[in-house]
Amino acid sequence: MTSVDERFWSYVDKTNDCWLWTGAMDYGYGRFYLEKKHMRTHRLSLEWSLGRPIGSGLVVRHKCRNRNCVNPEHLEEGTQKENGQDKVRDGTSPRGTKNHKCKLTDQQVLAIRADSRTHKIIAAEYGISRTTVSYIKTGKNWGWLLNGFLSTEDEEDPRNCRQNWQPDQH
| pLDDT tens-digit series, residues 3-23 | 998 999 999 999 889 999 999
**Where in the sequence is the domain holding 18, given as residue range(s)?**
4-78
Of all helices (H) and strands (E), which one includes residue 132? Answer: helix 130-138
Mean pLDDT of 140-169: 47
135 assigned to some structural domain: yes
Structure letter (DSSP) for residue 12: E
Band the pLDDT of 146: cuts 50, 70, 90.
low
Query: From residue 104, how far is each of 94, 98, 153 by CA, in Å?
Result: 14, 11, 24
Helix (H, G, I), strand (E, B) or coil at 109: helix
Chain centre to alpha carbon of residue 69: 16
Both 69 and 100 in one domain: the answer is no
90 assigned to some structural domain: no
42 assigned to some structural domain: yes
What is the count of structural domains for the chain?
2
Q: Is residue 27's pLDDT more than 50?
A: yes
34 assigned to some structural domain: yes
Both 56 and 100 in one domain: the answer is no
State what percent of residues in the chain have pLDDT above 90.
Answer: 58
Q: Of 23, 47, 78, which closes a domain?
A: 78
Both 72 and 9 in one domain: the answer is yes
Q: 50-54, 58-62, 111-115, 154-158 — which is least confidently predicted?
A: 154-158
User: Would you say 59 and 68 are in contact if contact means Cβ atoms under 8 Å apart?
Assistant: no
Both 108 and 53 in one domain: the answer is no
Residue-level pLDDT at 156 = 38
44 assigned to some structural domain: yes
Query: From residue 82, how far is each of 2, 60, 79, 85 by CA, in Å?
Result: 37, 10, 5, 5
- HSE-up of residue 152 (Cα within 13 Å, Cβ side): 0
Residue 107 to residue 97: CA distance in whole angstroms: 10
Task: Please tell me the total number of residues recorded for the chain in this structure.
Answer: 170
Residue-level pLDDT at 85 = 87
Q: 29-43, 56-70, 122-136, 137-151 — which is least confidently predicted?
A: 137-151
The model's pTM = 0.60
